[in-house]
Chain A
């Protein structure tokens, strides 16, 4: 049971990580803000990157908590793929789901 909680949390953590990392790319930032000309500033990019990579590290720790290390690493790598595909799908059909992330770092763009 504990491991299932860890896996679910890890899935969310990798999704959050990939979402933050996707927003550091200007194309995807524009997709989410919906403003053609907007760009993430350097500081926004940096904080998104920090949040992104640290979420991925948290996900790894969660995987390690659930399984034998050799197994946990495999689960983590596969979850990264799954999350990347998941975020790509969200960016295609449900961009607005990622708005809270932009809002977290930038209050002016969306108003």
Chain B
């Protein structure tokens, strides 16, 4: 089929890239935004615009709040009938479920504290199972006041899941689609290096003044090669994070009994009770345990704050408390967990030093998940992600440029469709993203289901951009540049400025006030303004190129006419 290895690679690179590249575009762009997901959260929920706090006193502030949390109604209605054994009696009413587990989580970038309760199902169908109904709460750790939990955290609860699951939750189909796209990314990287290997001799070349096909290919190769380590490592570690999910989803299917047995063995080895004793008991002071854990970390030469705290088997003789360190100062995601007896407050177990394999694994996943505190590296990741997006987008444009003449002569609409889809995933995605931010500022905070409507705006505006791109794409058939590129750039530029102004009007926070004082909001505003300026520049440049292309298209049709006459 192919006369050389290089040709085979070119085929693979072109067609796999063309089909799954659209997904990769979404993954790269929202991955770049996810680097600053918590900052976008601050922008979108103004009540939470304050400095990150350390975890407050558990005994005095958090415990009373956790005791007052009720099981989530939706979770109860969906899962209670599945978990409860009706033969033992009627379902326990929602508000009477006993709490079994408390947890609290914070990071160096989260001013808010997220907490939750796992409620026990008293008469479960499967006593061995994980029988929990959940109830979560977000509080202001300075006062203990509950913050509205129903507002959508646009950064960490929409853009970030978009990055790894496209927010398609039905049977986790989105995660599988992204997984397949990531595999293809690996293949595209290797095949790309094979087909463009000659380009290493002109590594730093970009010739914007050559014809479009040439300069686009320059940019494609350049952005692919300069950030090759980034592309490779992020694709690889992304797959690694979901490895157990993609490769071995068997622990909870075929191997479920073995998995449960392993849990028991582990409980035996670690001394952390797997089950409740059924004997009620008083809890010891959690704050004392926190102090002890901090002291142990300091002794191990890694002083730190608490990131995650969990109480298991609450109010039971078998209760224990797990305290993990906030990992903000190193790449590897290490919790250095300390486990205490809940009733006596004694240290039962300290996690032993990790094996070399675990250390490598933690470094690799940590470098992708970036819980660390390092603003320069975060921006470098944004740079890497956006360079990746450029690489993919130029791939599409090259595909179109290379084929549009031939497609026009054959009467095929192939390049027209690819161009329209490229417009949708490049400028259309930007418009959808910034529309969501505008909607966030326009819809009133107390509106019921605000988050839902923000998502409607996101998907709705993206669909409109898709229709617009197809409507305007006939230009490609006539060898011109689709005006949709320029029009959507202008729309994006306007919306981005509107978002910044609306933020000012609705919250009073403008750049003069936030710059140097509150970077999360100033950073989002500044990025929007810079992107807007780039979009305007791009639109003006496209206008110039469109005019050149019109002249060329006229020449082309004149030649065609002559050819058909002659």
Seen from chain A, the residues whose Cβ lies within 8 Å of a Cβ on chain B are: 7, 18, 22, 25, 27-28, 67-68, 70-71, 74-75, 77-82, 84-85, 87-89, 91-92
Contact = CB atoms under 8 A, between A and B. Distances in A.
B330 A68 contact: yes
18 contacts: A25-B201, A25-B202, A68-B330, A70-B332, A71-B330, A74-B367, A75-B377, A75-B380, A77-B230, A78-B377, A78-B380, A81-B383, A84-B204, A84-B225, A88-B204, A88-B206, A91-B206, A92-B207
Contacts of B225: 84
Given A75-B380, A78-B380, 9 more contacts: A25-B201, A25-B204, A68-B329, A71-B372, A75-B374, A78-B384, A84-B226, A85-B223, A91-B204
Contacts of B208: 92
Contacts of A28: 202, 204-205
Contacts of A79: 380
A83 B261 CA distance: 53
A77 B229 contact: yes
Contacts of A27: 201-202, 205
Contact of B376 (A75, A80, A92): A75
Interface in B380-396: 380-381, 383-384, 387
Nearest to A81: B227
A92 B209 CA distance: 10
Contacts of A81: 226-227, 229-230, 380, 383-384, 387
B383 A22 contact: no
Given A78-B381, A82-B383, A71 B204 contact: no
B331 interface: yes
B363 interface: yes
Nearest to A26: B201
B113 to A, nearest CB: 26
Contacts of A67: 374
Interface string B461-501: 00000000000000000000000000000000000000000
Contacts of B184: none
B15 interface: no
A70 B204 contact: no
Which of B208, B329, B376, B377 has the most chain A CB atoms closer than 10 A to its own CB? B376
Contacts of A77: 229-230
B519 interface: no
B376 A89 contact: no
Contacts of B226: 81, 84-85, 88
A75 B329 CA distance: 14
Interface in B195-213: 201-208
Nearest to B202: A27
A71 B377 contact: yes
A70 B203 contact: no
Contacts of B202: 25, 27-28
A32 to B, nearest CB: 11
Interface residues of B, number: 30
B380 A70 contact: no
A71 B229 contact: no
A67 B330 CA distance: 9
Contacts of A85: 222-223, 226-227, 383, 387
Given A75-B376, A78-B384, A91 B229 contact: no
Contact of B203 (A22, A80, A89, A92): A22
Nearest to B383: A82
Nearest to A79: B380
B117 to A, nearest CB: 36
Nearest to A83: B226
A15 to B, nearest CB: 12
B474 to A, nearest CB: 33
A77 B372 CA distance: 17
A82 B380 contact: yes
Given A22-B203, A85-B387, A7 B376 contact: yes
Contacts of B331: 68, 70-71, 74
The 10 A-B pairs at the shortest CB distance, nearest first, are namely: A78-B380, A84-B226, A88-B204, A70-B331, A81-B227, A27-B202, A22-B204, A92-B206, A85-B226, A81-B226
Nearest to B377: A75
A54 B333 CA distance: 32
Interface in B299-338: 329-332
A82 B203 CA distance: 14
A74 B204 contact: no
Contacts of B330: 68, 70-71
Contacts of B381: 78
B203 A25 contact: yes
Contacts of A92: 206-208
Nearest to B201: A25
A75 B207 CA distance: 29
A91 B227 CA distance: 18
Contacts of B376: 7, 75
Nearest to B370: A74
A91 B203 CA distance: 11
A88 B208 CA distance: 12
Nearest to A68: B330
A74 B225 CA distance: 17
A25 B252 CA distance: 55
Nearest to B215: A92
Contact of B374 (A71, A82, A87, A91): A71
Contacts of B201: 25, 27
Given A68-B329, A88-B222, A78 B383 contact: yes
A74 B205 contact: no
Nearest to B359: A70
A70 B227 CA distance: 19
